[in-house]
Amino acid sequence: MMLVGLLIGCSARQQLGISELEWASYSKERKDFLIRRYKAIAEERLVVNVRQGERDNAGLIVEISDGKALFPPDFVIWRNYRPLSFTMAVNQCRELPIISEASSDMTTKLGVCLLGDMFYLDSSNYEDSKKFGSIVIHRSPLWKTGFNYDAIYSTGYVRLSDTTIKIKLNNPACQN
């Protein structure tokens, strides 16, 4: 029974993106609180994705490259990752795999959302203020032709470091 509790704790720590040392310093009450926040935030992100009728045809093409990210299970060493390209629909949240350059077995999940005119990047699994993303980029006319955001640092689950993000409208004809 004690082993099951230990495995659940380890799994919870990794789902939250917290290092083993930091997790060990928390009280049982703090750990329980963080696990409850994780469940509530996961449910709220799910509700966003259920509102499919509110989506329109326009969205974004996003490329993330350069820089470093933190990977489980340790969350203490920044590692290079492979570039990532994806599309986002309006009113959509997703978790995308980030793969280490060193090993395809080493992966983490990057939370992203496109809610209205705002693109959110690197969500937190337990902090309310970062539940959709620790980086918020407001819509720009520059997205019609594509725009690079350089030297981006985030404070969510993967804690991107010195990252480049390129955002381009997927269907600029549908935008005002």
CA distances from 3 to 6, 9, 54, 74, 86 (A): 5, 10, 45, 20, 39
Identify the band that residue 8 occupies on the pLDDT scale cut at 50, 70 and 90: very low
- Name the residue range of residue 144's domain: 1-176
Higher-pLDDT residue of 114, 16: 114
Q: Mean of the pLDDT values across residues 108-120?
A: 93
Identify the band that residue 78 occupies on the pLDDT scale cut at 50, 70 and 90: very high
Beta strand pairing status for 84-89 and 92-99? unpaired
- Percent above pLDDT 90 for the chain: 56
| In the predicted structure, residue 110 carries a pLDDT above the cut 70 | yes
Residue 48 is predicted with a pLDDT of 63
- C-alpha to C-alpha distance for 90 and 62, rounded to whole angstroms: 13
Helices (H) and strands (E) in the chain, counts: 3, 10
Q: How many CB atoms sit inside 10 A of residue 80's CB? A: 11
| Mean pLDDT, the chain, integer | 84
Tell me how many domains the chain contains. Answer: 1
- C-alpha to C-alpha distance for 57 and 175, rounded to whole angstroms: 10
Q: Mean of the pLDDT values across residues 75-93?
A: 93
